[in-house]
Each structure stands twice: as structure tokens, then as C-alpha cells.
Amino acid sequence: MLRLLLFGYGNPGRGDDVLGPDLVGYIEEQNLGGITCQQDMQLQIEHVTDMADCDRILFIDADASCAEPWVFSAISAEKDDSYTSHAMSPVALLYAYRQVFGKNAPAAFLLRIRGYDFELGSPLSVQAAFNLSAAKNLVHGLCVDSSQRNWLQYLDRSIHGG
């Protein structure tokens, strides 16, 4: 069985920034086998250990500039400016994994869900809630049929949520 890590990150106190953790929480409630759910406010170097025992990773985050309702893409290790900062990008975390373990990280994907309001203390916006619902459908489908072919079909067919 494929071991899948879903990693949602974002600040629940900043309106739509909660999209990643909310989606991971939803999947966790579904009790699907073979799936590890992880949430945090930001990615940090310590998270390389969370990726060690999985076959595939899906990072989930809110994004104020992506297409609606979401954008799904394959990602790979890349050294970027976040590599030495407190908060890291998913590609920098994959790069750190390679540095720590001496091998490439598992196959990784990024789901960016369109958000609109990231003000401190704001609730989830109506538009972001709609986008979250569409993203829940996608991720549930990916978790139920976690074959590589299925994931690539979503990638090719639904890159902008279509």
C-alpha cells in the first residue's frame, strides 16, 4: 500500500491562510488507510523527518495569487532563498531532505488553494470556502485512488481546477 503524507500548512489566525490545515483536517476525519496527516503553521527543517517513511507527499497551502479554485503541480527539490530561513518552501524542504538523507525525497506535489483574505483575525472568506470544497473533492479522489497514473491524470487534466 502506498504511504501518503498530506502536509497542510498555514496560520489559522489569518483568515484564508487556514485552507491547508482545514483540508488536511477534513481528510484525517475520513479515516482513509495509508495516509499520514500533518499540519503546521509553516514548513521548517525539522519536517524532513516527517517525510522519511512515505512514498508520496502532497503539500497543501493557501495562495493569494493562484488560479481559482486551486492549482495542482508536481514539485522537486530546489535550493531557494527560504533554505536558510525559519520558514521554508516545499521545494526547499525537499532539497533539505536530500542533504540530510543523501537521497531524493519521495515524489512530491503541491496543491495551492486560492485564498483572498489573510488579515489577522479574519474568518475564512466565502470565496475561499468554495475553493476549499473543490479542493476537498480533488484530494479525497487522490487519496482513494492513489495510483501514480491517477495523480498524473489530475495533474494533466485539472492543473487549474477545471
Domain of 116, CATH number, reads 3.40.50.1450
State mean pLDDT over 31-37. 89
Tell whether 48 is covered by a domain: yes
Residue pair 45/155 in contact by the 8 Å Cβ criterion = no
Per-residue pLDDT reduced to its tens digit, 46-67: 999 999 989 999 999 999 999 9
Tell whether 60 is covered by a domain: yes
Could you tell me the residue range of the domain that residue 33 belongs to? 4-157
What phi, psi does 10 have (nearest 5°)?
Answer: 155, 165
Rg (CA), the chain: 15
Tell whether 56 is covered by a domain: yes
pLDDT at residue 83, as a whole number: 55
Confidence category of residue 79, pLDDT binned at 50, 70, 90? confident
- pLDDT at residue 85 greater than cutoff 70: no
Residue tagged 508520496 (cell numbers): 56
Provide the percentage of residues in the chain whose pLDDT is more than 90: 73
Confidence category of residue 92, pLDDT binned at 50, 70, 90? very high
pLDDT at residue 147, as a whole number: 67
Tell whether 119 is covered by a domain: yes
Tell whether 162 is covered by a domain: no
Tell whether 75 is covered by a domain: yes
Reported pTM? 0.91
How is the beta sheet containing 4-9 ordered, strand by strand? 35-40, 4-9, 56-63, 107-114, 70-75
Q: How many domains does the chain have?
A: 1
pLDDT at residue 1, as a whole number: 73
